Structure 1
Amino acid sequence: MLAYDLSTAQQFLAAISHWNAPDPRVIPELVYAQHSKIQVTYAPFDHVAPSAKLVVVGITPGLSQATTALTEARKHHLAGVPLPEVLRRAKLTASFSGGAMRNNLVSMLDAIGVNRLFSLTSTNALFSPGAEHVHFTSALRYPVFVDGLNYNGNPDMLRTPILREMVETYLAEEAVLLPNALWLPLGPKAQSALTHLAGAGLLDKSRILAGLPHPSGANAERVAIFLGRKDPRLASAKTNPVPLLAANAALRAQIAELNGGRN
């Protein structure tokens, strides 16, 4: 089994040990890269779950996640925990673990047949604590801030050299480590990063679940239409049901194909 690279974490280990500020953005020792209005701050999101069957890909960790991960890493490092375990605990603590987002995600994965692909009653079983059957990651592994604010996809990560390098270094590393997992991008920005890696031959395009609505509670109407819980004819003006229904059909067919044609 291939192991993930610890060199970046080792580089910032001393900074983590001495970190005790409420805001990691203002700590020079935690700056991973900087160009113009873009700052990349190191936070310990290096761990890759080696047995993951599903990879959930966001854009980049936000400030709150970064602070949580750094706090957890510092605590365990100062307690003498080995670095790989420090990184594992920090990553798991900072990843989402429940609530509406997870419930929506499970419902949508079950609806398109991922549970049957993995011979499960429900994909909820993938989220068993400590099992690490789900790997949470980001197109941009380390937190990115633009003018001091959480990066929202602008400027385009693939047209911005310091961001594209992160995709082609760290996300690419994860693609190589987890070639047989299903890859679920949360939104079009994360999807574009995965498509980029697929185009480079680093990821099997058939294993990218493109088009699934973002499972956040704020996206409830789109999720409900995707799941058939709301009549698409009753969709509000802000929601176009057509691409949601098309994505549902395409993803069902994609999973069936991966499952040997079985629905």
Structure 2
Amino acid sequence: MKNLDGYINIIKRLPNKEKYTREDLLTEGLLLDRDKNLEIYYIPISEKISICTRVFIVGITPGFEQMSTYISNFKNGLENSYNIYNRQSNCKISSPFSKSLTKNIIYMLDEVKLNEALNIKSCEELFNSNSHLLYTDALIPYPVFVNGKNYTGHTPKLMKNKLLMKYINNNFKNKLEDLKGVLIIPMGKAVEEVLIHLADEKILDRDQILIGFPHPSGANAHRLIQLKENKDNMIKIIKKHNFNL
């Protein structure tokens, strides 16, 4: 990841807000990269992976709401005179998902019996009492926008975009070194395709990937149909997986 130093003065000059607007944050000062109408912006985030991690939920990229929260948390740390780099590693929110998204994730993970494999009552525990078992992140660690809107992985197509793949190759691949043997749950088809590609490159084990897991967004009206179609195979993947790392 890029160093914070070049962005710290810009973040300091931001107004103190609990929630920022796109006009506040999608500025040239926080811009990392641009490819036509696709833009990548900086957020101060560097979270260590716990040795207890057994499940890794991976999305495409943080959305604007997450970007706002990360920067708000980080700026609060600056106002309280915390060490800059300690604050950078602690600004990640406890759950990067909305309540509705988290609810859908929990329901589907329980349906494929991940809770039983982990010896917990429900996968709800992954988001509270057993959060040490869960790691969440994105293929691209920085927020990506197309025409100012959250990038969804399809336009442009993720694996055909050289700029986006550069971030995956330079950041995400290295992270997988600390996640050997962990069950990886892709948030959507675009993420799944990248993970399978990395498995073909021997960067990770294909058996680590929970192939067929539907994107839990409410916008995916077919997620329950997809869950029903892929449920048996996902249960087999989970049963086969060794969680005793």
State the TM-score bracket (shorter-chain normalisation): 0.7 to 0.9
What is the one-letter code of the residue matched to 1:77? L
SS in 2 for 1:72: helix
Task: Measure the CA separation in 2 of the matches of 1:220 and 1:155.
Answer: 22
Cα separation, partners in 2 of 1:100 and 1:190, compared to 1, 3 Å:
same
Identity between Structure 1 and Structure 2 (%)? 25
8 Å contact kept, 1:45–1:90: yes
Distance 1:55 1:67, change over 3 A: same
Match status 1:80 vs 2:113: no
CA-CA distance at 1:15 after TM superposition? 3.1
Which whole-Å CA distance do the structure 2 matches of 1:259 and 1:86 have between them?
Answer: 34
Superposition map of 1:100-111 within 5 A: 100-111=100-111
Structure 1 unpaired stretches of 5+: 224-240
Change (3 A) 1:193 1:124: same
Whether the 8 Å CA contact 2:55–2:182 is kept in 1: the answer is yes
Contact 1:49 / 1:134 at 8 angstroms: preserved in 2?
no
Q: Does 1:245 align with 2:228?
A: yes
Q: Is the 8 A contact 1:48 1:135 kept in 2?
A: no
2:71 maps to 70
Which moves more between the two structures, 115-124 or 159-168?
115-124
Q: For residues 77-127 of structure 1, what are the alpha-carbon distances to aligned partners after superposition, in whole Å with 9 as ceiling and x for unaligned?
A: 332323454234321257126x33222212221222212222222222221
**Residue 145 of structure 2 aligns to a residue in which SS?**
strand
- 1:13 aligned to which of 8, 12, 31: 8
**Corresponding residue number in structure 2 for 1:35:** 35
Query: Structure 1 pair 85/210, CA: closer, same or farther in 2 (3 Å)?
Result: farther
Evaluate the alpha carbon distance shift between residue 85 and residue 123 of structure 1 in structure 2; reply closer, same or farther with a 3 A threshold: farther
1:155 aligned counterpart, secondary structure = coil
SS of alignment partner, residue 44 of structure 2: coil
SS of match in other structure, 2:239: helix
Q: TM-score, with normalisation over the residues of structure 2?
A: 0.84
Unaligned runs of 5+ in 2: none
Relative to 1, partners in 2 of residues 1:107 and 1:244: Cα closer, same or farther, differing over 3 Å? closer
Kindly indicate whether the alpha-carbon contact (under 8 Å) linking 2:54 and 2:182 is maintained by their aligned counterparts in 1: yes
Report the CA distance between 1:259 and its aligned residue.
Answer: 4.9
Task: Give me the TM-score of the superposition, normalised by structure 1.
Answer: 0.78
Distance of 1:15 and 1:137 partners within structure 2: 25
How many residue pairs match? The answer is 236
Amino acid at match of 2:237: Q
1:201-233 deviations in whole A, cap 9, x for unaligned? Answer: 22221111121122234446633xxxxxxxxxx
Question: What's 2:113 paired with?
Answer: 113
Q: What is the one-letter code of the residue matched to 2:200? A: G
Answer whether contact 1:45 1:87 (CA < 8 A) is retained.
yes
| Paired AA for residue 216 in structure 2 | P
Q: Distance in 2 between matches of 1:47 and 1:11?
A: 19
